[in-house]
Chain A
Amino acid sequence: MTARSIHWFWYASPQTFYPLAGGIARWCGIAAALLAAAGLWVGFFVAPTDAQQGEAYRIIFIHVPAAWMSMFLYVVMAGWAAIGLAFNTRLSGMLASAIAPTGALFTFIALWTGSLWGKPTWGTYWVWDARLTSELILLFLYFGFMALQAAIDDPRRADRAGAVLALVGVVNIPIIYFSVQWWNTLHQGASVSLKSAPSMAASMFTGMILMALAFWMYSIAVALARLRCIIKERGE
């Protein structure tokens, strides 16, 4: 090993990661505020009124990014939980616990904004359709993970039990994502995919991506701030 090699496992220790997490959280928080300001500006003042939905479509700028984050954060949470389970690393389990409340929050926001969008466009706040139901199950998976961890006193045992639950629940993520293709649902299909150009005006797309990046930065900042609390509370 040369002196220039990167110490990959240096930050796997809670004590050494603690100050780094604080620095990353601060910068991501600033980035989130700037991106959100830009995204809201584009969303409300640059993007045109929708020909069919009028101004109601502007809910898209939080609904779609929140729904993306709800699924993405679950996968990241389950990924860290799996690493903790496999290698018995302390920090991984703490990261999973730190992500869960923010994931649950974005799941609720996706459901809430979707409900408020459904009323003017579909004529109902809620319908037991595949996309909506599987997203609601995601919320319950987050709650289950948090409740299970809170119910076990020994943090290492709580991490392992939570990890198993999180991993079993991963099966729900492709179900949410493909639900609009597998079943007949009221929910529209994906407007954005890697294979084709987005089916919306460029300014609408820009606003949505800016808000998605803002939520992303916000999630990193909040999860790392919570991680610091967990490290402190576990007396590391």
Chain B
Amino acid sequence: MGFISQVINGLGLGSIYALVALGYSMVYGIVQLINFAHGDIIMVGAYAMFLLLTLAGAPLWAAVLGSILFCVVAGVFIERVAYRRLINMKAPRISLLITAIGVSIFLQNLSQLLFTSSGRTIPSMFDLGTLEAGSLQVPSGSIINILTSVAMMVGLSFLVNKTKIGKAMRATSEDADAARLMGINTNHSIAFTFGLGSGLAAVGAVLYCNTYPMITPYMGGLLGLKAFVAAVLGGIGSIPGAMLGGYVLGVAESLTKGYISSSFTDAVVFGILILVLLVRPAGLLGRNVSEKV
């Protein structure tokens, strides 16, 4: 496979990381929580797809919409039940972090209980075969991934920068106390952020299932971790950073698979993280905050 196809495949994979990374980044931006349960939302979305397609026999579009909707509700529910009280009582960040790890383990175990630990196969979804342009051969899945992620990104920047809920989100992330005193219901903007992040992770899950139709209760683990790496690499809290981090990671993985060895990809991914952070501790697009003394 040629270099350009490798890059396009990498961008396709990176799109999935990017969509999941956005959720990590937005939630971190608004409540300074590294939501380790976010990766498991991908698993929740994948199983929701599986159930809708196989058991309920829903048409594809309904399964996709249903899975996204289910994840949005799950994200909002998790925030309400597990995090809100901690956030409003200004609990130390470490308590939030441990709670997030707890939620993650809970979700994995719950799914193991419901679906057993053996993997399930998702019926094939959108497959337009391989696209060819001259000597260039690219699987359609990669193109779908890239287009979807770009569309999501455009929609998201628009939402954050131009709408009133976006303004409320930004105000909450800058200074929640002051935002409340300006009439903003910060509980709403935080819940909205969780719902939005989870919805984007569900889109990531749909794309993931389209490319890799095997799902397990633990699929969110490494995938979530890599998306988190993408978010940190790009500069956590930054929306364009999360996208960039995702693409960089995806391309690095794809090129390592193609030119070095497929068993070495994770080492390269995490190696890149270490190198980038050594040079730019706040990530590629993160802002270095230097405290005036």
Q: Are A and B bound to each other? A: no
B residues lining the A interface (CB < 8 Å):
none
A residues lining the B interface (CB < 8 Å):
none
